[in-house]
Amino acid sequence: MTNQEFIKKVADTVCKVALSYGILVHSPIIAQAILESGWGKSKLASTYHNYFGLKCGTKWTGKSVNLTTQEEYEVGTLTTIKDNFRVYDSMEDGIKGYFEFIQLPRYSNLKGITDPKTYLETIKADGYATSSTYVDNNMKLINQYDLTQYDKKEGNNSMSYDRTAVVNQAKAWLGYNEADGSHKAIIDLYNTQNPRPRGYKVTYTDAWCATFVSAVAVKLGYTRIIPTECSCNYMIKGFQQIGCWVENDAYVPKAGDVIFYDWQDLGIGDNVGSSDHVGIVEKCDGKTITVIEGNTSNKVGRRTLAVNGKYIRGFGVPAYTTQSASTPAPSTTKKDITTIAKEVLAGQWGNGDDRKNRLTSAGYDYATVQAKVNELVSGKTSTPTKSVAEVAKEVLAGKWGNGTARKTALENAGYNYSEVQQKVNELCGQKSVTEVAKEVIQGKWGNGATRKSKLEQAGYNYSAVQAEVNRLLR
């Protein structure tokens, strides 16, 4: 295979799949494949279809091979090591594997970048490569082989994905219903897909909320950025696979985002249950979300709910290329901290994690507001009177309650909850950061805001644990 043939084969797959993973630039990825694989001639590439030097990490469950490689841990000094690398069945699978690999949280900042050098500098800073000349070497390939031509490839970035189009199509179907059979047009459109998701043909008597969202994507040709499904939970998996899932009830959505519900939500913490319903966000003013949904009272209709309201399961956030949908920005007029603290005391901002999420989403510093609440309650700023060790022993004796109640009580008394909980864990025999990180990878601590909350409530430093998770997965 000549160099130009290799470039063409890599570029075809990169340009076909990148956008579905939220990646808008292609030339640096093509250059990375050239550099990492030696034009596809390295043993790892030619035999095992791994063109990016992707190591297994602890999360990989596929085939692997142990090979020798070199890392530049110190500038100018190469260290030879042996490590396990991922094995793929084809060139296309190997290139898709790159995009799946960069769905790790630490690479989320790559989404939306359009400048090749910025992309390379960012992925290098994220820890992808150890070579001190990694950015320069890739840029030389980009310039020498005019790889930026693939950033403008027809049928790729030239395809516009517009929020307005999604909202307008959803609005166009308002009123379609089961009573007069007009909803059948939506289901028929969904069934035109070949192949259909999981091979299932939706019937006119099936629940059709996810089918409605999917039909919008089919109608517009947006199936690269909106996974089509007739099941809410499978659609969530689709968004997760392309790195466009927000696991945070308190997220403030934009028009065109996809919102999922769980009717069994207890309204406590971040909801991670099974999803029962889905719709398309029409608009959000920072406080109230207006949603257009299929199969709501057997028709296409609207629903309004509060940001971070009960029953929100999470959000699919398609990688739109244009942002022209009219979405009122959240109000930038903030109340003073004393006023907000008084509203907290009046019960307007909820309790525990719910309060924290709502205040943060509204742009307020939770710690500052809570300190003012404490002042108003006590008439003065709370000042701890006991050592952390003393309070930790009281916690173990059951004097400060459990969970959120303990956290609130300690903070209201002026103590640093994390410090106290860490001391409690020390007295009980706390696990190491590495042990906890391995439990995170095994799924024992949940995801997103739920993971952060659980780790902090257990007294662990979330940032330290997450850094160790990233290290283990590399």
Dist. CA 357–CA 97, nearest whole Å: 35
* In the chain, where the domains are located: 3-152, 163-316, 337-473
What is the four-CA torsion angle of 357, 363, 367, 369, rounded to 10 degrees?
-100
Tell whether the model's pLDDT for residue 389 goes beyond 90. Answer: no
Tell me, what's the pLDDT at 332? 41
Residue 327 confidence class, pLDDT cut points 50, 70, 90? very low
Q: How far apart are CA 284 and CA 306, in angstroms?
A: 9
Q: Topology of domain 3-152, per CATH?
A: Lysozyme (1.10.530)
What would the mean pLDDT of 255-260 be, rounded to a whole number?
96
Whole-number pLDDT of residue 325 = 46
In the structure, what pLDDT confidence band is assigned to residue 157 with cuts at 50, 70 and 90?
A: very low
Least confident of 14-23, 86-95, 450-459: 450-459
Mean pLDDT of 42-69: 85
Confidence of residue 5 (pLDDT cuts 50, 70, 90): very high
Distance (Å, rounded) from C-alpha 136 to C-alpha 133?
5
pLDDT tops 50 at residue 164: yes
User: Which pLDDT value is given to residue 156?
Assistant: 44
Question: What pLDDT is attached to residue 221?
Answer: 86
What is the distance between the alpha carbons of residues 442 and 13, in angstroms, rounded to a whole number? 31
Least confident of 8-12, 70-74, 367-371, 411-415: 70-74
Read off the pLDDT of each residue in 74-80 and give the average, rounded to a whole number: 61
> What is the model's pLDDT at position 453?
78
Predicted pLDDT at 415: 76
Q: Residue 155 — pLDDT band, cuts 50, 70, 90?
A: very low
pLDDT of res. 152: 65
Which residue would you say has higher pLDDT here, 374 or 91? 91
Q: Across residues 418-442, what is the average pLDDT? A: 75
CATH class of the 163-316 domain in this structure: alpha beta
pLDDT of residue 423 exceeding 90: no
Looking at the predicted structure, is the pLDDT value of residue 355 above 70?
yes
Helices (H), 221-361: 232-241, 337-345, 352-361
Q: Tell me the average pLDDT across 213-230.
A: 92
pLDDT at 452 over 60: yes
List strand residue ranges (DSSP E) for 144-298, in order.
Answer: 245-246, 258-261, 277-284, 288-296
pLDDT at position 422 is 72
The pTM (predicted TM-score) of the whole model is 0.45
Cα–Cα distance measured from residue 467 to residue 429, given in angstroms and rounded to the nearest whole number = 22
- Grade residue 289 by pLDDT with cuts at 50, 70 and 90: very high
What does the mean pLDDT of the chain come to? 83
Whether the predicted pLDDT of 282 surpasses 90: yes
Q: Do the Cβ atoms of 86 and 122 come closer than 8 Å?
A: no
Provide mean pLDDT across the span 253-270: 90
Query: Among residues of the chain, what percentage have pLDDT more than 90?
Result: 38
pLDDT class for 70, splitting at 50, 70, 90?
A: low
What is the pLDDT averaged over residues 342-356?
74
- Residues β-bridged to residue 245: 316
Res. 158: pLDDT tops 70: no
Greater model confidence, 195 or 72: 195
Q: Among 143-147, 283-287, 405-409, which is the least confidently predicted range?
A: 405-409
- Between CA 378 and CA 387, with CA 383 as vertex, the angle to 5 degrees is 140
Instruction: Kindly tell me if the per-residue pLDDT of 397 is higher than 60.
Output: yes
Give the residue, 215 or 104, on which the prediction is more confident. 215
- Concatenate the DSSP letters of all residues of 208-231 into one string: -HHHHHHHHHHHHT-TTTS---SS
Above 70 in pLDDT, residue 185? yes
